[in-house]
Amino acid sequence: MSRYRSFAEFWPYYLREHSKPGTRAYHYVGTSLVVALAIGAVVTGTWWLLLALPVAGYGFAWAGHALAEHNRPATFTYPSWSLRADFKMWWLWLTGRIEAELIAAGVQPARRHA
């Protein structure tokens, strides 16, 4: 049985599992590649590019957990909510709104250098 009954309950947990900026950076690179590959496949009709989506997305994400966060990726326990959360985190980062979400989840924002 899932510990979380809704995505809204899962979301703060997901952010805490991605507390280090390096982990999130790996995710942002992987998700950006996924989006670029998907667009490239549609625009060019090169459908085999779609085979690279899991490698690009999960490869970078799992590397971030291994090299930066040192934890087990949430996708192993919550695959569909993790995928949804990854795209939400990426979009909030792109639109400059991720910091407020991190703070609300109890994650300290990275220090900015002057």
Q: What is the pLDDT of residue 108?
A: 86
- Please report, to the nearest 10 degrees, the dihedral formed by the alpha carbons of residues 61, 64, 67, 69 taken in order: -120
Whole-prediction pTM: 0.90
Nearest to 84 by CA among 11, 19, 13: 11
Mean of the per-residue pLDDT values of the chain: 93
61-77 confidence digits (pLDDT tens): 999 999 999 999 999 99
**CA–CA distance, 100 with 26 (Å, rounded to integer):** 20
32-54 confidence digits (pLDDT tens): 999 999 999 999 999 999 999 99
